[in-house]
Structure 1
């Protein structure tokens, strides 16, 4: 059975320089599909071009940590030109896209929170219009983020990427139709709360990811994270779960296809 990395930035270094070589290596390790989200205007076109590769699925979005610096100095509405450009780009390339993202909220930057929320709500509305699942960046603001999704009555689902939080928080997202992205964070000793959540969640709520080249695993020996670490993340997850390895791997693959509306 194959692997699906539901969140990795293969347009970033070190992958972008020799992408074909890396994709060949991934295939040799049974990695059949990778989901590559964009982060902002600077890489929308680059990420779109990656869809030419059969094993790569792509999404367009505006990441809360990549909002235009000049717009952050004014009112949140000053982000509208970029968000309108994104909406038009998604409309033009709708058949190429598998998701809207990466977008969301990041509580490490409270000074930009009003702008983050404005951009996120605009993207929820647009993703609902285009019927695209969301790839959601959620850091330290799970409750607020879930509230905004619920307020917009978003019904297309998506993935809460690199989830780190409690069972109650994860369940709230699952109730809203989202899958929980399981990444290298669960390999760290400090992630006991998240591991407890992953132990209790239904199996059909989980997908695997790496966030490569970021989100390092505990005691990682490579300089950058890579989709090749999916097996190590899976091993950590399997130690928390009661399912057999084959059943768990099959469900993770099936869940990934289902949430992104992909056929086998």
Structure 2
């Protein structure tokens, strides 16, 4: 089964969403998107809703937003918390302590409501690993392109790794090594629509998930059907998506 575990569907057209014939986890980045995301999941049977505060947008207003987030978790059908995480790149490091506090609060919510998480992490792996050990949750490390030992650290904690269009680049050496060294049972597929352009394409599309799957099949020397079956099963085990 095809399952796109990470896309920003509020940036897609209504026609693109209506054409979906497989599940997509629609992630959000701040509280201004949550109402629209919940409504989209109600209107679109293939859209699973994830609500979260992305580390790029964490600020003092994030604390009252956490109260709003819990209210949504109590009354709506939410499949995951996402996109959440830590990003300590230079341009985001000034609010490092704030990021840590807000992320920890979201992990606590994930535990309380038994929800998986979709995690963004850049240059903050020591802090991330410490926190997800302290607050054991299930989920996906989105777009992880890291050393093999670091990938194994997340896998050993039960996380899946989200593979997106970066894998289609010839120079994506870490992505390729990761796929060649770990079993398919540790991976899920994602587009990160509309943020990842595939090589040789001017436009991004939700259909890019097909080329991601084909590239994974080539790197694993596996039939495409096997890739879709295993990664789809992995995603379904995490996000428990249903069209009810």
Task: Give TM class, smaller chain.
Answer: over 0.9
Which of 19, 31, 51 is residue 25 of structure 1 equivalent to? 19
* SS of the residue 2:55 aligns to: coil
Following superposition, which runs of at least 4 residues in structure 1 exceed 6 angstroms of deviation? none
Seen in structure 2, the aligned counterparts of structure 1 residues 227 and 43 have a Cα distance that, compared at 3 Å, is same
- Unaligned runs of 5+ residues in structure 1 are 72-77
Q: Secondary structure at the match of 2:219?
A: coil
Task: Give the structure 2 partner of residue 244 of structure 1.
Answer: 223
Q: Distance in 2 between matches of 1:199 and 1:46?
A: 39
- TM-score, scaled to structure 1: 0.85
Q: Is residue 2–residue 229 contact of structure 2 (8 Å, CA) maintained in 1?
A: no
Equivalent pairs counted in the alignment come to 240
1:174 partnered with 2:168: no
Unaligned runs of 5+ in 2: none
2:48 corresponds, among 45, 48, 57, to 57
Q: Which residue of 2 aligns with 1:192?
A: 173
What's the TM-score once normalised by structure 2's chain length? Answer: 0.92
Q: Distance in 2 between matches of 1:262 and 1:11?
A: 19
Q: How much does 1:263 deviate?
A: 5.5
CA distance in 2, matches of 1:45, 1:196: 39
CA 196–26 in structure 1, closer or farther in 2 if over 3 Å, else same: same
The structural deviation recorded for 1:26 is: 3.5
C-alpha RMSD of matched pairs (Å): 1.7
Deviation per CA, 1:66-105, whole angstroms, max 9, x where unpaired? 223xx2xxxxxx7422212212221222xx1111111001
Counting only pairs closer than 5 Å after superposition, residues 1-264 of structure 1 correspond to structure 2 as 2-12=1-11, 15=12, 18-19=13-14, 21-27=15-21, 32-52=22-42, 53-68=44-59, 71=60, 79-93=62-76, 96-108=77-89, 109-152=92-135, 154=136, 156-222=137-203, 225-262=204-241
